[in-house]
Amino acid sequence: MSETITPAGEAVTEVKITVRPNGSLRVEGPVRLLDANGGEWNVAGKPGISLCRCGASANKPFCDGAHKTIGFESTETAPAQ
Ligand code: FES
């Protein structure tokens, strides 16, 4: 992880989100994961979490590998900069 200094001079640790081909969203960094009511999953101390984006996980919001069994296809790539 790297640190970025905001215009207000605050140090912020970056969070990295990787869109995995045909799979989950891998989130790495110091994040909090909340539901719509403010309830929180305990993800403290984990180096990263994988969030389901195929809709088939039995353990949402986490990926449980079900994307492989349903043949989920999604291979978006970021535009060239
Ligand atoms: S992305 Fe892995 S189960 Fe949905």
Does position 4 have pLDDT exceeding 90, yes or no?
no
- Report the chain's mean pLDDT, rounded to a whole number: 92
**Is the CB of 57 inside a 6 Å radius of any atom of ligand 1?**
yes
Does position 26 have pLDDT exceeding 70, yes or no?
yes
| Rounded distance from Cα 21 to ligand 1 centre (Å) | 11
Does position 20 have pLDDT exceeding 70, yes or no?
yes
78 band by pLDDT with thresholds 50, 70 and 90: very high
What are the sequence ranges of the domains in the chain? 3-70
Q: What is the best residue among 24, 25, 69 to mutate for testing ligand 1's pocket, by most ligand atoms within 8 Å of CB?
A: 24
Give the number of the atom of ligand 1 that is nearest the alpha carbon of residue 24.
1
Does position 56 have pLDDT exceeding 90, yes or no?
yes
| Rounded distance from Cα 23 to ligand 1 centre (Å) | 6
One DSSP character per residue, the chain reads: --EEE-TTS-EEE--EEEE-TTS-EEEESS--EE-TTS-EE--TT-SEEEE--SS--TTTTB--SHHHHHT------PPP-
Two tokens, residue 10: 């605050």
Whole-model pTM?
0.85
Does position 10 have pLDDT exceeding 90, yes or no?
no
